[in-house]
Amino acid sequence: MLFPRTCAIEIPGMKQKIVLFICLLVSVFVNAQLKNNWRVLIDRKDGKQVVFQLERKQEQGKTILYVINAAERIRITGIRQVKDSLFFELPAFESSFRVRVLANGNLSGTYIKGTAGATQYWPLFAVANTKERFAAVNGVAKNNITGKWDVTVTRANGTTRKAVAEFEQEGNKLTGTFLTPSGDYRYVDGIVTGDSLKLTSFDGDNSRLFEAKIENSNTISGGIFYNGYTGKETWIAERNENISLPEANEPTSLREGETKLNFTFKDLNGLPVSIDDEKYKNKVVIIQLMGSWCANCLDETKFLADYYKSNHSRGVEIIALAYEFTTDLARSKLSISKFQKLFDVQYAMLITGVAAGDEKKTEKTLPQLTAIKSFPTTVFIDKKGNVREVHTSFYGPGTGEYYTAYKNKFYETVDGLLAE
């Protein structure tokens, strides 16, 4: 049986037995139709489709689903069955699915995404027994674009921003990532066929689609970047193996004349926690400015949770300050708790009560800093309580060498403060 808990009821009489029997039949029927992998398509508002792969596994008698983006596998548990429909949500973010299992094993339904405004409902269709993300409709790739690329993105208002793309191509298969001044686009996965490329990424927070023409082995033109439900920008790229990461414009820093942070917020149990608490005195303290809606914050939280367990005894403390979609306390607590549970976070996670989109969020929470412009942002405090560094960029595990460089800089910073 696929989901036995769905049909667990007491059976004191004939009526309950009949209900249980019918429920078992439904479970067996759906299990018979449920396939092992799907090519999932979710529709943006304009009809463009973001594609990802979904895989089913049986682990210790339980059905587990995995969202696949290149090397990333997002594990989904807690799948609920009602008749011929499945309901499940991603382990982090306010993202869930409700789908109906069709007779041929395909899935039809809705991807539901919480936002700072109205909840989004994306139409979803998944083709069973299809492992390929994209078909090579234009034949073999005419060029190999493995390497680093200098990317220029043009916003809808005509202004531009810089990024670095790093691609790895084997035949038609294309994977990689894009790196911006503040973070990365995580794992992108797709194809080069003929002179065209197509890349997508889906993690529950971000839904991205990149399309472009490959002019030659050094030039990419005519690119369109579809971001989220409605976002759309154009992009071009030139190969440059020596390209440096783009720098942030006026990154967050300590305001002139300030030396320390001063804050008190409540943790997930409703208890006040202050940077001035005895627990944090004479310790190196890392302040993580984050949001449970942020995929880069998810990657950083995993890193910090592991780091804390290994280094807490050295005199290191971490405090996460969460800026959520809204000021709804119950909603914020539920979302942050998913992060805490997913990575077994053992350091304090505090709810600021100020929305990430609030233009006055810095003044309301950490007025000792200049404007908080990106998440995550990480503040390093020495044993005397002084702010020593502010890091406003994070490059996660999807970026390879850049992730290694990020970790090395982090270790160097903390080790230096511990040695003082």
Q: Tens digit of pLDDT for each residue in 258-309?
A: 999 999 999 999 999 999 999 999 999 999 999 999 999 999 999 999 999 9
Give the strand order in the sheet containing 264-267. Answer: 272-274, 264-267, 348-351, 316-322, 284-290, 377-381, 387-391
CATH homologous superfamily for 147-239?
Quinohemoprotein amine dehydrogenase alpha subunit, domain 2 (2.40.128.120)
Q: Give the burial class of 241: count Cβ atoms within 10 A of its Cβ; 0-12 exposed, 13-18 middle, 19 or more buried.
A: exposed
Strand ranges, E, within 275-336: 284-290, 316-322
Q: What is the pLDDT of residue 26?
A: 39
Q: Give the burial class of 14: count Cβ atoms within 10 A of its Cβ; 0-12 exposed, 13-18 middle, 19 or more buried.
A: exposed
Alpha carbon distance 205, 216 (integer Å): 33
Residues of the chain with CATH 2.40.128.120: 147-239
Is a pLDDT exceeding 60 seen at residue 225?
Answer: yes
Is a pLDDT exceeding 80 seen at residue 390?
Answer: yes
Class of domain 264-419: alpha beta
pLDDT band, very low/low/confident/very high, at 30 (cuts 50, 70, 90): very low
Please check whether residue 79 is in contact with residue 88, taking contact to mean a CB–CB distance below 8 angstroms: yes
ω into residue 376 within 30 of 0, thus cis?
yes
Q: Give the burial class of 330: count Cβ atoms within 10 A of its Cβ; 0-12 exposed, 13-18 middle, 19 or more buried.
A: exposed
pLDDT band, very low/low/confident/very high, at 7 (cuts 50, 70, 90): very low
The stretch 85-106 carries a mean pLDDT of: 95
37-69 per-position pLDDT tens digit:
999 999 999 999 999 999 999 999 899 999 999
The hierarchical CATH code for the domain 4-128 is: 2.40.128
pLDDT band, very low/low/confident/very high, at 11 (cuts 50, 70, 90): very low
Please check whether residue 104 is in contact with residue 128, taking contact to mean a CB–CB distance below 8 angstroms: yes
The stretch 355-370 carries a mean pLDDT of: 98
Q: Phi then psi for 347, rounded to 5 degrees?
A: -95, 165
Is a pLDDT exceeding 70 seen at residue 194?
Answer: yes
pLDDT band, very low/low/confident/very high, at 5 (cuts 50, 70, 90): very low
End-to-end Cα, the chain, rounded Å? 60
Residues of the chain with CATH 3.40.30.10: 264-419
Is a pLDDT exceeding 70 seen at residue 14?
Answer: no
pLDDT band, very low/low/confident/very high, at 2 (cuts 50, 70, 90): very low
